[in-house]
Each structure stands twice: as C-alpha cells, then as structure tokens.
C-alpha cells in the first residue's frame, strides 16, 4: 500500500489579489479575509482526515505569515507553487508528490465543507493504486489524485470554464487513465457560491455574519 501525499493549493490572502470574483459584493479586504478562512478550514480538515503527509503549496510563494502559522499548527510541509498556468502548477506538484510517495492528490482550498470521510476515501483509493477526481457543480474539480501525471492531462484546458472535468475525463480515457469519482461539491468562487455553501456549512455562516457585522477577528486566530 502506498502512503500518498495530499497537496493543498492556496493563494496568499492579499487584498486585491485573491477572491476577486467576490467583488464588488465584498471589499478587497473582506475577500482576503474570506480566502484566509477557507485556507484555514481546509488545512484543519486535511490535517484531521488525511492519514499521511500534507503539503501546502503557496502562490506566488510559501513565505506568508498565514502559511507559516498553519504549517506550525498542523505540521504541514510548505513549498511554493511552480510558475505557469494552473495546469502546469498542478502537474509539477503532482509529479513531485508521486516521486516522493508513488501517488499524490491536489485539493483546492475552496471546499472547506468537504467531509472528512471524502478525504479518507480519496486516500484509500490512491493508496491501493486508483486515480481519483472530485467534480464541482460548475464543471471543474476540487480534487485530483494520480498514480502517474502525464502532461497531456493538463494541457490546453480552459481553467475556470465549465468543461474542465469533462475534458479531463476524456483525456484520461485517451491516455488509459480511469478515474474513480468522489461526490460532487460546490466550490466557492462567487458570492452566490459563498452563501449556498454557508447555508450548508455552519462555520462559514458564522464567519460571514461576524465579518459583515464588523468583527475583525482573524480566521487563523480561532485555530489557537
């Protein structure tokens, strides 16, 4: 049995540079705090439910106070994402994880409501040699786990479009890669996504109420 790595993909929560699709409903500062909440809860989720090593790959680098605090709190390995589009960055990260452990998965930080049992299932499937993908309601995916990472699986894809998972599954068929499917989830990109998820996930609902009420407590502080 393999002991696959889990790689969290996170963007530094810098106002004006992260979660820009939440604007103008939220200010750049509020959007950055929402991003911070999502990253914190995802790190907590991963640390509690992934049986082997968890890495946090940061963009544009790993040297951010939030990332360092999470690494210390949850014993995460920190590293920077590669240059290039999302496909190239995921491809590079997965190849590094596969080289380390024989299999690896990438999880985005937009699904803090992902159940721990889903991560445990993904780990079990990767450990026994399967490939795994977790689709999102908007046609993308929140998780991909592989035994091998061919470049063609990530090339010439319209990232953020509505056919990402469809195209990936078709590419997989062409390359002889079969995927086991995880449950479909809503990933948080827009204000509508945010409130749909908040109705299902109480920690996010409470955070948003506090944010809109002017409570300035940082999400990371609640982890200590």
8 Å CB contact between 153 and 168: yes
Give the contacts of 216 (CB within 8 A, at least 6 positions apart).
none
pTM value is: 0.95
Domains of the chain: 5-212 (3.90.550.10)
**Which tens digit of pLDDT belongs to each residue from 2-59?**
899 999 999 999 999 999 999 989 999 999 999 999 999 999 999 999 999 999 999 9
For residue 224, name the pLDDT band (cuts at 50, 70, 90): low
Q: Is the pLDDT of residue 63 over 80?
A: yes
**Which tens digit of pLDDT belongs to each residue from 75-99?**
999 999 999 999 999 999 999 999 9
Q: What is the pLDDT of residue 218?
A: 72
Helix, coil or strand: residue 32: helix
Q: What is the pLDDT of residue 121?
A: 98
**Which tens digit of pLDDT belongs to each residue from 181-213?**
999 999 999 999 999 999 999 999 999 999 999
């Amino acid at each position: 049995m393999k002991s696959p790595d889990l790689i969290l993909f996170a963007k530094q929560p810098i106002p004006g540079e992260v979660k820009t699709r939440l604007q103008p409903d939220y200010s750049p500062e509020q959007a950055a705090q929402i991003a911070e909440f999502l990253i914190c809860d995802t790190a907590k989720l991963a640390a509690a439910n992934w049986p082997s090593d968890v890495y946090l790959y940061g963009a544009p680098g790993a040297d951010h106070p939030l990332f360092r605090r999470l690494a210390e709190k949850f014993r995460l390995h920190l590293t920077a994402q590669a240059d290039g589009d999302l496909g190239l960055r995921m491809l590079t990260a997965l190849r590094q994880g596969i080289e380390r452990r024989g299999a690896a998965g990438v999880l985005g930080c937009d699904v803090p409501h992902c159940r721990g049992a889903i991560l445990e299932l993904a780990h079990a499937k990767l450990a026994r040699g399967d490939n795994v993908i977790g689709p999102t309601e908007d046609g993308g995916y929140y998780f991909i786990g592989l035994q091998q990472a061919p470049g063609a699986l990530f090339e010439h894809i319209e990232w953020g479009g509505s056919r990402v998972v469809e195209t990936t599954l078709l590419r997989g068929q062409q390359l002889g890669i079969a995927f086991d499917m995880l449950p479909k989830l809503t990933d948080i990109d827009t204000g509508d996504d945010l409130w749909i998820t908040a109705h299902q996930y109480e920690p996010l609902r409470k955070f948003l109420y506090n944010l809109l009420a002017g409570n300035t407590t940082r999400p990371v502080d609640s982890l200590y």
